[in-house]
Amino acid sequence: MIKLIVGLGNPGLQYEKTRHNAGFLFLDGLVCDVGEKWLSAAQFQGEMANISVRGNKLMLLKPMTFMNRSGMSVGKLLRYYKINPDEMLVVHDELDLPAGVIRLKRDGGHAGHNGVRDIIAHANSKDFYRLRVGIGRPPQGANVADYVLSDLSVRELGAMHEVFRSVMSRVDQVLTGEIQAFNSVQV
């Protein structure tokens, strides 16, 4: 059962609505939906919220260390609360999935995602769940860093929020790690 959900992104207004902030956007919507607020958690270099979803108590974390150093924040929290990596879900953007596609996965490598890479290093484990939010690839010849750090259009942002609402309608499958059941439904 998931006890901690980590959303990956970068702090600051200039990154707020970028593709790379898909994890932050997901958690911000979740916190808003349940009527909670983010609190500064300086000891974990992040923002935290404690919520209850369908009777399940969850800790939420947005690392404020910038994407490539997310593991510092996550590792500190895992050790302090004695949470096992397999009780954690990391929500992040995914270039290898088309925009609008979302997949649940457990274990595996980082697939070039520096935030996930840093979490693996600081958690000393690859054994955690990932909610991969498809953002698609940039056009041929475009710079990947510029693409992931560019703002989503109003249409793209609306579509992403629709996908997130679909995830929340199946939150039980996410929290219990029912990968096949979750991934069998097309969004």
Q: Which residues are catalytic?
A: 20
Tokens of 51: 């919520």
Cβ distance 51 to 20 under 8 Å? no
Enter the DSSP assignment of 86.
G
Rounded to an integer, what distance in angstroms lies between the CA atom of residue 55 and that of residue 41?
Answer: 24
Instruction: Give the number of residues written for the chain.
Output: 187
Residue 175's identity, in one-letter code, is L
Helix (H, G, I), strand (E, B) or coil at 83: coil
Rounded to an integer, what distance in angstroms lies between the CA atom of residue 90 and that of residue 104?
Answer: 10
Cβ distance 57 to 50 under 8 Å? yes
